Structures are given as C-alpha cells and as structure tokens.
C-alpha cells in the first residue's frame, strides 16, 4: 500500500459563475454545489459564505472542518463507506487543496451544558493565533434541514453534505499539475530492511462508548463502531478518508481535517522517512463502556501491537472525555508489561488547571506522558461586525464581546496532538 498526496496550494476562494482552479485561486460555483447538496431531500435550503485569514469575523457553531480532497481516477473511492463502497482507502493518488477548508455550520448547539455557542471559528485576534484553522480560506456551508428530523439524522446530513462539497471542490484540481507530491514510504510489519531501527506502532482511539453511536453513524469505513474490537489499519487509511469523527463532534474534539492531517501519524512518518524509527503500523480502537469492555479492548489492542506488529515501542492517544484515560493507561500498562515502551498523550480535563487532577491515572510504568493542556484558557474576544451563523439567534450570540473558552474555539484544543496549546508545570 502506498499513498501519494498531490498538493495544490490555495491562497484564496472566490464565488464565480463557473467552478475552476485558476492558479492558486479556487473559484466556487455556489449554484452547482447547491444542486449537489439538495439531492438529499432532508435539506430544504443551503447557504454559502467565504471567510479569509485575518478578517475580523466569526462563524459558528462549527460542526466539521474538512480539507478538500479527491481521489485521482483509478486510485479508489472518496470517503469509502460514506460516499462509495467501503473499499480500502490509502491507495494511489489523492489531490489536496492545501490552504482551503470546507466548514459546516450547525443550526443547533452541540451541548448546552458545555457551551451555548458551540465551537466557534475565529479568524482574527489573539484567539485566532492559537488555531491553525485561522490560516485557511474557508468555504462556509450552512445547511437548513427539514423540520422534525431527529438530532442524529440532522448531524448525519451535515457530515455527508460537507464531505460531498469537499470532494467536488478538490475534483477541480484533477487535471492540474500539483505544486508538490508527497509520497509515504510503504509501512509493513514484515519489513526486513530496517534492522537496528526501533519498531514503533500507533494506537489511537476513534470513539468512546461513553456515547452510544447512531445505527447509521459513519465513523470507520461508514460503520458506527458498535461492538467493534481493535483493528489494525495501515497509517495511510487514517489519512485518506477511512475514518471520520463521531456525529458527537464536540465530544471528541476532532474534525475530519484532523484525520486527514493526523499529526501523530505524520510525525511518525517523518521519523520513518528519516530512518530514525521503523513505523510498523497502527491499531484503531475505542474506549470501553464498562470494566469488561475495557479489559477486552485493552488486551486485544496490546496483543495486536505485540504479536502482529511486533513493535518495540508504541504511541497512544485517546478520544472523548475523562473515562477514556483509563483505557489509554491500561493499554499502555499492558504493553509495558510485554516489554514495549510507550508514550501516551493526554489532555486537560481538570477545572483547577493542575496536572495532578487532570491525568486521572497513576500507573508507575507509564511515565512518558505528553500533556497537551489548555482547556482552562480563556480569551476576551471583541465585538465583530461580520458574523456568519446558521440562525439569527446564533448571529446575535456570537457577535460579542464575550469570554470564550479555548475548547470552544475550533482548532485550539485537540486531544490527539493537533493543538498549539501546551501545559507547563512551574
């Protein structure tokens, strides 16, 4: 398996009468995209807008952020299991519009107990400087759904609409020569050409059973992970549309863009290409709902890393709230007991900003911990004249000035490494 990303830099988005890619400017035909999305009769209308880096504007609530990508002919399917048959992702060439994003706005707040505003896209000011998303040109997609739909049906409409539009935009680049090509060196646990280099695996949670997935919720190749056991995946599958976030988008703190640019996998690839390590593969798992679930999942994941990937070391990350820390720590403890050195990434879930209360576990063997904190950080954001929202209520709510938590600014906090926030003990 080998994946090549054909990268086309985008410096601006503009609306026009005919969609095309003109150098580094992406021309968007809103009428054409509207026809594409309205094929789903759950959507009664859809609006579009564009925001650019540095603009004094604010948008929300953000349901998802997606990098426009499309498979080259003969290279497989876009988002297999969601837009097409669930054939293997991560093969062939995928065209990427770097610097652009499709961001879907919701008509509903994700969770009133956490934030009335939901996650907000800030494009200027100090808060924007903390988010990589503020450096992108965003096509904002604002679907208006049929009244009376169940919440999860609405959220699935958002998911499918966003990725359809992202793929349609990226297809405009298929006949253009990319500025750069990024090809990932093949990863295989059976490689015999890297003697002496430590064999390193990645174990990533993709869902937590703290929440019940919807029956038709697409997470892994279009399936909802219910009853899932840990499974080995090639790292290219993560990067190429095999995995999308749960419809509980606020819960995991991830966006589709995150999986497409997974920082842990990309850094392991960087070190693999530099011949510092032998990146032998990944395991996708979920956090359990009870002790039986946890024991089963943790042991299965550890066994895959030990016996199938034959790793010397493993990097682990979590998904969801505080409870998945326990699954992360137990998997790492089992790996350490098998002679596999581990490094784990955890995020700040404490209110008192103390590392001791945020870790939620104390396992002496698990002593290489990357703590990407920052959830307690707040900004006072000013009033902005331009607000893009799905409803008038949200428009008024987001106008500011207001105090906003880091976790409620999309792209600032992320449990799996896509964050500029770091916690320091001093």
> How is the chain split into domains, by residue range?
3-181+380-388+394-401, 186-379
Given a cut of 90, whether residue 425 has pLDDT beyond it is: no
Give the span between the Cα atoms of 56 and 127, in whole angstroms: 12
Tell me the pairing of strands 20-22 and 25-28: antiparallel
- Cβ distance 160 to 40 under 8 Å? yes
Across the range 172-182, mean pLDDT stands at 98
Pairing mode of beta strands 57-60, 386-389: parallel
Write out the two tokens for 92: 């062939």
Determine the pLDDT at residue 417. 79
pLDDT of res. 383: 95
Predicted pLDDT at 311: 97
| Residue-wise DSSP of 55-104 | -SEEEE-EEEEE--EEEPTTS--SSBTTTB--PPPS-EEEEEEETEEEEE
Task: In whole angstroms, give the CA distance from residue 138 to residue 55.
Answer: 11
Nearest-angstrom CA–CA distance, 87 and 68: 20
User: Of 96-100, 113-117, 286-290, 405-409, which one has max mean pLDDT?
Assistant: 96-100
In this prediction, residue 190 carries a pLDDT of: 81
pLDDT greater than 80 at residue 339: yes
Token reading at 144? 């208006």
The candidate with the shortest Cα–Cα distance to 49, out of 150, 137, 174, 161, is 137
- Per-residue confidence band for 320, with pLDDT thresholds at 50, 70 and 90: confident
pLDDT one-digit tens code per residue, 206-245: 999 888 888 999 999 999 999 899 999 999 999 999 999 9
Per-residue model confidence as pLDDT tens digits over 241-262:
999 999 987 666 789 999 999 9
Cβ neighbourhood burial of 211 (10 Å; 0-12, 13-18, 19+): middle
Q: pLDDT for 81-125, tens place per residue? A: 999 999 999 999 999 999 999 999 999 876 654 677 889 999 999
pLDDT of residue 49: 98
> Residue 222's pLDDT is what?
97
Give the phi and the psi of residue 201 in degrees, each rounded to 5.
Answer: -120, 160
Mean pLDDT of the 174-193 span: 91
E strand residue ranges, 120-162: 121-122, 137-145
Selected residue with higher pLDDT from 340 and 1: 340
Does 49 or 359 have the greater pLDDT score?
Answer: 49
pLDDT range class, residue 130, cuts 50, 70, 90: very high
- Model confidence band, residue 321 (pLDDT cutoffs 50, 70, 90): confident
pLDDT for the residue 351: 61
Computed over every residue of the chain, the mean pLDDT equals 92
Q: Which two tokens stand for residue 145?
A: 């759904």
Give the β-pairing of 313-317 and 199-208. parallel
Q: Provide the whole-model pTM.
A: 0.95
Tell me how far apart the alpha carbons of residues 293 and 290 are, in angstroms, rounded to a whole number.
5
Asked whether the bond before 401 is cis by omega within 30 degrees of 0, the reply is yes
């Amino acid at each position: 398996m080998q994946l090549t990303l054909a990268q086309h830099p985008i410096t601006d988005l503009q609306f026009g009468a005919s969609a095309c890619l003109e150098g580094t400017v992406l021309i968007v035909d809103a009428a054409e995209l509207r026809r594409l999305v309205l094929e789903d009769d759950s959507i009664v209308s859809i609006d579009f807008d564009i925001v650019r880096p540095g603009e004094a504007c604010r948008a929300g609530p953000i349901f998802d952020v997606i990098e426009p990508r499309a498979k080259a002919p003969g290279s497989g399917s876009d988002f297999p299991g969601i837009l097409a048959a669930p054939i293997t992702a991560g093969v062939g060439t995928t065209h990427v519009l770097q610097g652009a994003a499709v961001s879907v706005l919701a008509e509903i707040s994700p969770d009133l107990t956490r934030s009335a505003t939901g996650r907000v896209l800030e494009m200027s000011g100090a808060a924007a400087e903390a988010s990589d998303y503020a450096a992108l040109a965003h096509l904002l997609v604002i679907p208006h759904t049929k009244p009376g739909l169940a919440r999860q049906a609405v959220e699935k409409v958002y998911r499918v609409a966003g990725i359809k539009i992202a793929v349609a935009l990226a297809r405009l680049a298929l006949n253009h020569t990319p500025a750069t090509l990024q090809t990932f060196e093949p990863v295989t646990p059976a490689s015999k050409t890297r003697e002496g280099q430590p064999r390193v695996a990645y174990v990533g949670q993709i869902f937590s059973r703290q929440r019940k997935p919807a029956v038709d919720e697409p997470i892994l190749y279009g399936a909802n992970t219910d009853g899932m056991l840990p499974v080995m995946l090639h790292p290219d599958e993560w990067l190429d549309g095999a995995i999308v976030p749960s419809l509980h988008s606020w819960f995991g703190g991830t966006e589709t863009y995150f999986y497409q640019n997974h920082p842990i996998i990309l850094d392991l690839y960087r070190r693999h290409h530099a011949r510092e390590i032998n990146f032998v593969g990944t395991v996708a798992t979920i956090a359990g709902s009870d002790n039986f679930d946890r024991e089963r999942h943790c042991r299965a994941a550890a066994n895959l890393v030990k016996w199938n990937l034959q790793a010397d070391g493993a990097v682990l990350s979590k998904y969801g709230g505080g409870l998945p820390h326990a699954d992360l720590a137990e998997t790492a403890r089992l790996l350490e007991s098998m002679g596999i050195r581990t490094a784990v990434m955890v995020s700040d879930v404490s209110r008192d900003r103390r590392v001791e209360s945020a870790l939620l576990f104390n396992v002496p063997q698990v002593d290489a911990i990357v703590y990407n904190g920052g959830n307690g950080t707040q900004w006072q954001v000013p009033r902005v004249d331009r607000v893009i929202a799905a409803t008038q209520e949200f428009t008024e709510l987001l106008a500011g000035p207001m105090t906003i938590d880091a976790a409620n600014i999309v792209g600032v906090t992320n449990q799996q490494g896509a964050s500029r926030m770091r916690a320091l003990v001093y």
